[in-house]
Amino acid sequence: MDNKIINTLKGVAFLLLVSLYSCTDYNYIDGGLANGVHDCTMWEYFENQTQDWDSTMVMIEHAGMKSYFDGSGQYKQITFFGITDITIARFILQHNRELDSKQDIGLPVDENAYWHRVKDMPADSCAAILKKLIVPEQRIMLKDIPQGNRLVFNGKYKESGGKPFTTLYGDEIFTWMVPEDYGDLEDAGAKVLWIARRRNTSSNYRIASTDIQTTTGVVNSMDYGFTMGNF
């Protein structure tokens, strides 16, 4: 069988396997306890919720960043805009599709360049992605974020309200809250947290679950549709 077909089938199988164990209704990430408060470190929380965070833990360890999540490192508190298993699986599959596209136009591609597991990803790339999603020394809760908006047009963005934060990567993210409607009542529904990097080319991303509290920080889980490569 052609190597490209084998690589594609492996990627699809990986994504389906992760989806089977990760998907919940309405892209909501299960926070475990109903009140979202967990008397354990963030790392221990991940260990207790492997249906969403198994690949995340592998990625964190591969990047050499476990100490940020278990409280043993420089920062005793962080906020993590968390990427879950299915997001990581899609990132791997997209990488392999790009290699397939190169082959389709006749460019040489080393078969070893394909990723079949999280540890095939470059460790420094994993670290960079994680650092863009970590705000050190702060516990960011939904209640802390003002209502706002971010509009992107003609390669430029315009912000209103909201609140910026500096990430471990050293750049800024912008966060804002948007109240949804409830029936015919405007702004009477659920309050939704949004996030974007402060770049003209950055998209807006919805947070699926907020305020997952642990003893070493807060997790605000990215929606399953989050694209790691574009953040």
- What pLDDT score does 186 carry? 54
> CA 221 to CA 152: how far, in whole Å?
23
**Three-class SS of residue 122?**
coil
Per the model's pLDDT, the better-predicted residue between 50 and 187 turns out to be 50
Which tens digits make up the pLDDT trace of 64-79?
A: 999 999 999 999 999 9
> CA 167 to CA 197: how far, in whole Å?
10
Identify whether the C-beta of residue 193 lies closer than 8 Å to the C-beta of residue 220: yes
First to last CA, the chain: 35
> CA 108 to CA 82: how far, in whole Å?
35
> CA 125 to CA 122: how far, in whole Å?
5
Structure tokens at 66: 């476990």
Q: What is the DSSP letter of 180?
A: P
> CA 160 to CA 196: how far, in whole Å?
13
Residue 26 has pLDDT above 50, yes or no: no
Identify whether the C-beta of residue 14 lies closer than 8 Å to the C-beta of residue 116: yes
- The percent of residues in the chain predicted with pLDDT above 90, rounded, is 71
**Three-class SS of residue 176?**
strand
- What pLDDT score does 28 carry? 41
Residue 56 has pLDDT above 70, yes or no: yes
Quick one: average pLDDT of 10-23? 46
| Tally of CA atoms within 13 A in the half-sphere of 179 that contains its CB | 11
Q: Which domains does the chain have, with CATH numbers?
A: 3-222 (2.30.180.10)
Amino acid at the residue 111:
E
Which tens digits make up the pLDDT trace of 87-107?
A: 999 999 999 999 999 999 999
